[in-house]
Amino acid sequence: MSEPRGSRRWWVKRVALGVGTVSLGIAALAVADADGADTGRPLFVKRLGATGPLLVFLPGIGGTTRYWELVVASLRDRYRLALVDLLGFGRSPKPWTTYSVSRHLAELERVITPVAAEGPVVLVGHSLGARLAVAYAARFPTQVRGLVLVSMPYFAGGDNAKRFVARRDNGWIWTHMVPFALACLLGRRLLGWAAPMLAGDVPREVAEDMNQMTWRSSTSTMWEVIYRYDLTADLLRLPPSVAVTFLHGDQDESAPLTGIQDIALLRPSVAVYVREGADHSLPLKHRAWVRENIIEALRR
């Protein structure tokens, strides 16, 4: 027998039906956004330039080859540039996997080893890409002659990373896996089309490419590479032959400058250049300064 309309049990059933419908909708979106099969296809790499030293560029989380291309394409006349889409982002594969540091490095090795056969490379990374660049150089030091690490987050441990990120706006979402995954999923699937219009001063290409990931690749990468991985051992393992240069903004709220200053105490040989008034988008907002310091780093 049906419940009287407007009764308490009638409302309970309607709420349960609504929650169930929303849950099914989210599940359908998650399936539609699901990662593909692990086909073994290599990472997407865009090559620019024909002569000169070889530089390999790694973007931050959500970034793609187009992020770095906006900044360094003008260097193609005197350097060879290899711009890489990380596993799970851009035009690279997005398998259903754990996006651990080891898995990221294994995929990077597949594309860097062939080009490093021509001679050791300089790895240039922004944010998450900078962390992976350090880990890569620690494991394959003979392939790398220098690191340029832009806006690199360093917290000396996952707990410190979470405490720092939790203080930011919407920090609770960024430090809890389920809300973070839902934000990535719903933001991409429901509001992704509006990203270029809501991006403010972010270049259209960068805003568009933030949609070129999945909830799995973004969430797993954030937890595995930022929250669950301490770079300290890798930094200490880097041989003296690998020259390290940090480029950082003194207003970076995503990657504290104090972390880089701590690294300089661990490895006094590193070079640290700080841009006054710059935030985490240092490469986009201060392109000429970043290019000049990359060139300067090549002379070290």
Taken in order of first residue, the domains within the chain and their CATH numbers are 45-156+230-298 (3.40.50.1820)
- Please provide the DSSP assignment of 72-114 as one string: HGGGGGTSEEEEEPPTTBTTS--BSS---HHHHHHHHHHHHHH
In angstroms, the Cα distances linking 262 to 48, 59, 155, 259 are 35, 23, 9, 5
Query: Residues 231-273: pLDDT tens digits?
Result: 999 999 999 999 999 999 999 999 999 999 999 998 999 999 9
pLDDT, the chain, mean: 86
pTM tops 0.85, yes or no: yes
Using the predicted structure, report yes or no on whether residue 68 has a pLDDT greater than 60.
yes
Q: What is the pLDDT of residues 98-155, one digit of tens each?
A: 999 999 999 999 999 998 988 899 999 999 999 999 999 999 999 999 999 999 999 9
> What is the C-alpha to C-alpha distance for residues 157 and 221, in angstroms, rounded to an integer?
16
Euclidean distance between CA atoms 275 and 268, whole angstroms: 20
Q: List the structure tokens of 193.
A: 């089309």
* Bridge partners (DSSP) listed for residue 246: 149, 272
| Percentage helix, strand, coil for the chain under 3-state DSSP, each rounded to 5 | 50, 15, 35
Q: What integer pLDDT is reported at residue 92 of this predicted model? A: 96
pLDDT in the model for residue 34: 61
